[in-house]
């Protein structure tokens, strides 16, 4: 029986490639997306590659949309084996010194990167724990690492909204993982790397490389980590 995986923000970029790679591993992949036309087109593309793929209308910033998506998955499959929170936002207005960034930029960024992520986790949690071994993967960023910032890894600190939102994602992941301590379920955060996408024009990695860490953490075995932060098989500092 195929395992069921839901990926948010899956109509393009890293999310789409994550769905493709999981589909090639014989998972049924549910492509969460806000735009129906783009979501259906993405699912059709994967079906053309003999992947069991379906579009799910899902806007993480809209509680009704999330609730409806949960009802659809529950009615169709009864459970969820993998949830990958890939949807995220980086605003160009965030590119500046922290003291100069409008508060609204932080609100807009947190709305999807933090609050939307939690809304999705909260809604689908009952379906995840019905799985024999659920896998929750939150797409974070090395830019959310307090340790790397404190160590001077990023000498020109900008993007307070995006960076702090990903730091929040890291902390939230630890909280989710703590609930699953001593269970077969696993929750982890990942850093995809500097991937060339619509959001990051200057990325160095391909989307195939960027999706790899999410896929690896979504498919870990019973002895896999819980409550970790990873990039391409290596632990990242919180």
Q: Is 162 a catalytic residue?
A: yes
Is residue 6 classed as helix, strand or coil in its secondary structure?
Answer: strand
Among the listed residues 18, 61, 42, the one whose alpha carbon sits nearest the alpha carbon of residue 211:
18
- 212 and 157 in contact (C-beta within 8 Å)? no
Strands 234-235 and 229-231, sheet pairing? antiparallel
- DSSP symbol at 193: -
Q: What is the number of other CB atoms lying within 10 angstroms of the CB of residue 63?
A: 14
Catalytic residue among 3, 12, 70, 166: 166
Buried b (16+ CB within 10 A) or exposed e, 29-61: bbbbbbeeebbbebbebbeeeebebbbbbbbbe
Half-sphere exposure of 195 (CA within 13 A, CB side): 26
Q: Is 166 a catalytic residue?
A: yes
d(CA 183, CA 65): 30
How many helices (DSSP H) and strands (DSSP E) are in the chain?
8, 8
DSSP-based helix, strand, coil % in the chain, nearest 5: 45, 15, 40
Catalytic residue among 3, 12, 27, 162: 162
Active site residues: 162, 166
């Amino acid at each position: 029986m195929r395992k069921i995986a839901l990926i948010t923000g899956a109509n393009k970029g890293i999310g789409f490639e994550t769905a493709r790679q999981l589909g090639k591993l014989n998972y049924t992949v549910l492509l969460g997306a806000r735009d129906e036309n783009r979501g259906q087109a993405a699912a059709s593309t994967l079906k053309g590659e003999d992947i069991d793929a379906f579009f799910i209308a899902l806007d993480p910033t809209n509680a009704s949309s999330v609730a409806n998506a949960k009802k659809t998955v529950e009615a169709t499959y009864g459970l969820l084996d993998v949830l990958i929170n890939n949807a995220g936002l980086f605003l160009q207005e965030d590119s500046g010194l922290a003291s100069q960034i409008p508060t609204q930029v932080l609100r807009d960024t947190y709305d999807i990167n933090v609050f939307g992520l939690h809304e999705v986790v909260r809604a689908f949690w009952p379906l995840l724990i019905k799985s024999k071994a659920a896998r929750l993967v939150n797409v974070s960023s090395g830019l959310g690492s307090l340790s790397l910032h404190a160590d001077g890894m990023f000498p020109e600190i900008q993007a307070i909204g995006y960076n702090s939102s990903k730091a929040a994602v890291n902390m939230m992941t630890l909280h989710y993982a703590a609930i699953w301590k001593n269970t077969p379920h696993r929750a982890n955060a990942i850093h995809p790397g500097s991937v060339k996408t619509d959001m990051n024009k200057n990325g160095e990695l391909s989307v195939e490389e960027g999706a790899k860490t999410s896929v690896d953490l979504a498919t870990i075995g019973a002895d896999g980590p819980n409550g970790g932060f990873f990039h391409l098989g290596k632990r990242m500092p919180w």
